[in-house]
């Protein structure tokens, strides 16, 4: 027997579920698995009082509300560390986007998590349990963007990766290019997607499009495959250049494993950092993996003095978001722009070159 969920509030992690009107709450519980969609009731509000829906709206939650999300793990040094729940575990909302699991540890700045009661699996019209894998995109053919792939890494969380990525997208877009933006790893939330969209990305893809509500805890081989699949999808949708963001810092195991595959994959790597010491350490870690860093950006650029300090310490250009949104983005391309009159005129205007 199944029950209707017409009044449920759907989290961002469900954005690829197209037949929502036909979905149901299944009657039988099952062990938690990565990516499974579930229906839960809000038992007690905590840190998360709002749910981000598939369209990016913050939806106020109340005790007793039905919410629909997906099981997953979370790795966030500045928020929650969480894992899919085991038998008897209290169940929590790990992200505003609807990632569901059990909090294992929390940053001291964060309050108690919102507590959920899982009622059962989300099922399709035929009664089959649904997961993020069921609604994933089919892989596009292998392809490289004509003007190159730029990858943004960070020394840590909150180092300015998304700002740097969005700024590069903005710079490419202002030059008349179709820029594709992708989030390779992370936890289910739409804030990066919306940041890329606002920057002018012509096409966007992320790990959720390829079956993961959160990338933490999946085999590294799948993450590597997903990174290529995101790039291929963006190229298939017409991107001239691709900008990819990898979550967390380079000391995180999965981020470091992905970084090791960048030689031969990325045409330019930008490292976002909070200070000069983070730049030195991050460049050293990446150098040991054979990954050259083309430029540094991130929160360090909020201070002109810290910017000069990082530039002197690394010998690399340290670019502000404004510089990346200008000529800095173009300098990261694998090859120069096509030399047609329209493109030349656009680029001259962007670089401030006299006509």
Please give the average pLDDT of every successive group of 10 residues along the chain, which has 355 residues. 76 93 85 96 98 96 98 95 96 98 97 97 93 96 97 94 98 96 94 96 98 97 98 98 96 96 97 97 97 97 97 97 95 73 41 37
Do 263 and 325 lie in one domain? The reply is yes
What pLDDT, on a 0 to 100 scale, did the predictor assign at position 28? 73
Residue 97, domain extent: 9-135
Cα–Cα distance for residue pair 328/337, rounded to 1 Å: 14
Residue 282 lies in a domain: yes
Number of domains composing the chain:
2
Domain end marker among 86, 103, 135 = 135
Do 186 and 335 lie in one domain? The reply is yes
What pLDDT, on a 0 to 100 scale, did the predictor assign at position 270? 98
Residue 141 lies in a domain: no
What pLDDT, on a 0 to 100 scale, did the predictor assign at position 353? 38
Do 126 and 63 lie in one domain? The reply is yes
Q: Let me know: does 39 contact 8? Beta carbons within 8 Å.
A: yes
What pLDDT, on a 0 to 100 scale, did the predictor assign at position 346? 39
Pairing relationship of beta strands 74-75 and 37-44 according to DSSP bridges: unpaired
CATH number, domain with residue 157:
3.40.50.300
User: What's the token pair of residue 291?
Assistant: 């990954």
3-state secondary structure 307-331: HHHHHHHHCCCECCHHHHHHHHHHC
Do 92 and 29 lie in one domain? The reply is yes
Helix (H), strand (E) at residue 193: helix 191-199
What pLDDT, on a 0 to 100 scale, did the predictor assign at position 343? 42
What pLDDT, on a 0 to 100 scale, did the predictor assign at position 338? 59
What pLDDT, on a 0 to 100 scale, did the predictor assign at position 341? 42
What pLDDT, on a 0 to 100 scale, did the predictor assign at position 288? 97
Looking at the DSSP bridge assignments, the partners of residue 180 are 203, 242
R_g (Cα) of the chain, nearest Å? 21
User: What's the token pair of residue 52?
Assistant: 């981000």
Do 267 and 158 lie in one domain? The reply is yes
- Backbone φ and ψ for 234, nearest 5 degrees, come out as -65, -40
């Amino acid at each position: 027997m199944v029950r209707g969920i017409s009044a449920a509030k759907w989290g961002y992690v469900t954005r690829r579920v197209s037949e929502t009107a036909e979905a149901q709450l299944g009657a039988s519980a099952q062990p938690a698995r990565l990516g499974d969609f579930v229906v839960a009731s809000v038992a007690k509000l905590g840190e998360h009082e709002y749910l981000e829906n598939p369209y990016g709206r913050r939806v106020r939650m109340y005790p007793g509300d039905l919410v629909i999300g997906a099981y997953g793990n979370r790795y966030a040094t500045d928020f929650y560390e969480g894992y899919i729940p085991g038998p008897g575990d209290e169940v929590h909302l790990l992200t505003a986007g609807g990632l569901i699991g059990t909090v294992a540890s929390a940053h001291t700045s964060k309050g108690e998590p919102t507590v959920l009661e899982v009622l059962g699996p989300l099922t399709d019209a035929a009664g089959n349990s649904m997961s993020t894998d069921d609604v994933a995109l089919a892989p596009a053919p292998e392809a490289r963007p004509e003007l190159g792939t730029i990858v943004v890494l960070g020394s840590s969380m909150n180092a300015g990766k998304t700002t740097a990525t969005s700024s590069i997208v903005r710079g490419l877009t202002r030059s008349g290019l179709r820029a594709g933006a992708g989030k390779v790893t992370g936890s289910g939330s739409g804030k990066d997607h919306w940041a890329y969209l606002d920057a002018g990305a012509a096409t966007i893809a992320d790990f959720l499009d390829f079956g993961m509500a959160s990338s933490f805890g999946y085999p590294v081989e799948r993450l590597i495959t997903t990174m290529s699949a995101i790039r291929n999808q963006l190229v298939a949708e017409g991107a001239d250049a691709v900008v990819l963001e990898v979550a967390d810092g380079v000391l995180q195991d999965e981020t470091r494993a992905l970084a090791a595959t960048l030689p031969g994959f990325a045409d330019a790597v930008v490292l976002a950092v909070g200070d000069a010491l983070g730049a030195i350490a991050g460049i050293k870690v990446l150098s040991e993996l054979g990954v050259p860093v083309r430029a540094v950006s991130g929160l360090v650029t909020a201070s002109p003095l810290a910017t000069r300090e990082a530039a002197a310490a690394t010998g690399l250009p340290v670019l502000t978001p404004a510089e990346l949104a200008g000529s800095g983005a173009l300098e990261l391309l694998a090859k120069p722009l096509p030399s047609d009159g329209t493109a030349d005129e656009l680029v001259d205007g962007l670089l401030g070159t006299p006509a």
